[in-house]
Amino acid sequence: MQAYRTDFIALFEQSPWQVAGAFFAMYVVMTALSLPGATLLTLLGGALFGLGWGLLIISFASTIGATLAFVISRFLFRKPLEKRFPRQLERINRGVDRDGAFYLFTLRLVPLFPFFMINLLMGLTRIKTVTYYWVSQLAMLPGTAVYVNAGGQLGELESLGGIVSPGLLASFALLALFPWVARRIVLLVQTRKTYQAYPKPASFDYDIVVIGGGSAGLVTSYIASAVKARVALVEKHKMGGDCLNTGCVPSKALIRAAHAAHEVRTASRFGVNAGEPEIDFAKVMGHVQQAIRDIEPHDSVERYSGLGVEMYEDTATLLSPWEIQIGEKTVTARHVVIATGARPRIPALPGIEGAPVVTSESLWSLKEQPRRLVVLGGGAIGCELSQSFARLGSQVTLVEGAAQLLGREDDEVGEHMATTLGQEGVKVLTSSHAIEILNEDDGHQLVVEHNDERLSLPFDALMVSVGRQANVEGLGLEALGITTTEVGTLELNERLQTRLPNMGLR
């Protein structure tokens, strides 16, 4: 470049409009067609034209080219994708309608996300072309200035020794620091914009308020209290949450009892003939409840009060980013951790209201063992409870809509599970879809479609394990603009924060 730089400058001085116009056109075409090399071309422009002319030419050329790429993407791709993914794009467009200009500004200001991707993706949204142009023009200007200046410094090099010149070193330092500084500025502006409607208290009652006394809430409270934070823990139901009361502890206690029955039944493989075990289901459930009672003190109100956590056995509602109503009392906190967990999801199946349905929550109140158990859902919960009840002597049928059990695992794992359950007496029906429940005088039946035919599965209890839904109702999230995903969980960033950074999920 240095070999031809003198000639280029002389040519530019003779025909400034033609030379600048040619470079301008080349830059616009490269950006509009999303061709690689825009960064190098920016450095080259700074080296050839200097900071003043280079910034003027490249700033407008890059914005015009970006807008053309935006228009091309909108013309070619938006309608086909709107037809293919209407719900997803409508959700994105709602956010763009509300804060599109601000989001575009932040993406443009921090040059970490490829600009050509921004052009193509924003073309799929409803943001106005005029808005796209002026926001891009403004937001890209600081970054363009940094790169053009660096190119200008490179253009002044006359020897290798010039690489360590203060001007060039300062330009490289500015290139390295600019993304970080710009990101900090964006976060500051975004935080101020997010919180502008909520006056911040002069002082706080607590450093952290944790909503939910399950595993996540307990661990959070424990760690926070250990580092001497002022912590409040709110639990409206039972301390320990799912893990202690309806999940890990009772299910593993039941599995242990079922394993003992299985060992007795298969002891002959060791030369020990014990015969068929006699199951006292009431005592099995007593063993389960005893396991809960043994661990309960570790998750109790008394223990956490002793650790310095202030306990509230009540409901919590978010009034502002810093105000939480707990029962009749309103407290303030610097941070709020939402650890409200989830509950079993009940499908809208015709006839389900009149059927003896149990879930992973209500199962533990059974007094009598169901002779015929149908399990709807072949995930981890459905599989482990199917096996346990089969080992305890129930006739179990497991119904799964997907082609394999344990759909989140590899195919081989699902196949192995189906084989194992089948060998232990569980009737496994995959690719089967529940249609309705028939509640008649002589009993209950689940009607499913399996291999293009309808099957009626009689049952004394139907265990539903088709997934879980988040407990986010009644927290006041809507009033604070905290949104949820399509599956009902909170919209979070990579740090598990909501749109209000001091509120997050654990």
CB 394, CB 388: distance < 8 Å? no
Q: Can you tell me the mean pLDDT for 125-147?
A: 86
352-467 shares the fold of 206-344+469-505: yes
Residue 298, classed as helix, strand or coil, is helix
Q: Which residues contact 468 (CB under 8 A, 6 or more apart)?
A: 342, 343, 344, 345
Of 115, 145, 100, 103, which is closest to residue 34 (Cα–Cα)? Answer: 115
Q: In 3D, which of 204, 205, 201, 206 has the Cα closest to residue 231?
A: 206
Decide if pLDDT at 356 tops 80: yes
Tell me how long the chain is: 506
User: What pLDDT does residue 164 have?
Assistant: 47
* CA angle, residues 403, 405, 411, in degrees to nearest 5: 75
- Continuous H helices in 125-165: 129-155
pLDDT (mean) for 126-132: 90
Mean pLDDT (the chain) is 88
Q: Exposed/middle/buried for 446, CB within 10 Å: 0-12, 13-18, 19+? A: buried
Domain ranges of the chain: 2-195, 206-344+469-505, 352-467
CA distance 222 to 200: 27
How large is the average pLDDT for residues 425-447? Answer: 94
Least confident of 107-111, 283-287, 314-318: 107-111
Contacts of 280 (CB under 8 A, 6+ apart): none
Residue with tokens 């700033």: 59
Give the β-pairing of 206-211 and 372-376: unpaired
Q: Read off the pLDDT of residues 374-387 as tens digits, 9 standing for 90 and up.
A: 999 999 999 999 99
- Dihedral over alpha carbons 211, 214, 215, 218 (to 10 degrees): 50
pLDDT at 7: 74
Specify the DSSP element, H or E, that contains 220: helix 215-226
| CA nearest neighbour of 444 among 385, 370, 378, 394 | 370
For 352-467, CATH number out of 1.10.10.10, 3.50.50.60, 3.30.70.380, 3.60.150.10 equals 3.50.50.60
Structure pTM? Answer: 0.70
DSSP 459-504: ESEEEE-S-EEE--TTS-TGGGT--B-TTSPBP--TTSB-SSTTEE
Query: Do 456 and 447 touch, CB atoms closer than 8 A?
Result: yes
Q: Specify whether the CB–CB gap between 421 and 398 falls below 8 A.
A: yes
Rounded distance between C-alpha atoms, residue 233 and residue 72, angstroms: 53
Q: Say which range, 75-79, 152-156, 236-240, has the weakest mean pLDDT.
A: 152-156
Of 168-182, 194-208, 425-439, the least confident: 168-182
Pairing of strands 329-338, 323-326: antiparallel
Helix, strand, coil share (%) of the chain residues, nearest 5:
55, 15, 30
Mean pLDDT over 288-313 rounds to 96
For 57-111, how does the pLDDT look when each residue is reduced to its tens digit (9 = 90+)?
Answer: 889 999 999 999 999 999 999 888 888 888 888 878 887 887 778 778 777 776 6
Do the Cβ atoms of 242 and 341 come closer than 8 Å?
Answer: yes
Q: Does domain 206-344+469-505 sit in CATH 2.30.22.10?
A: no
> Which H or E run contains 90?
helix 86-109
Per-residue confidence band for 323, with pLDDT thresholds at 50, 70 and 90: very high
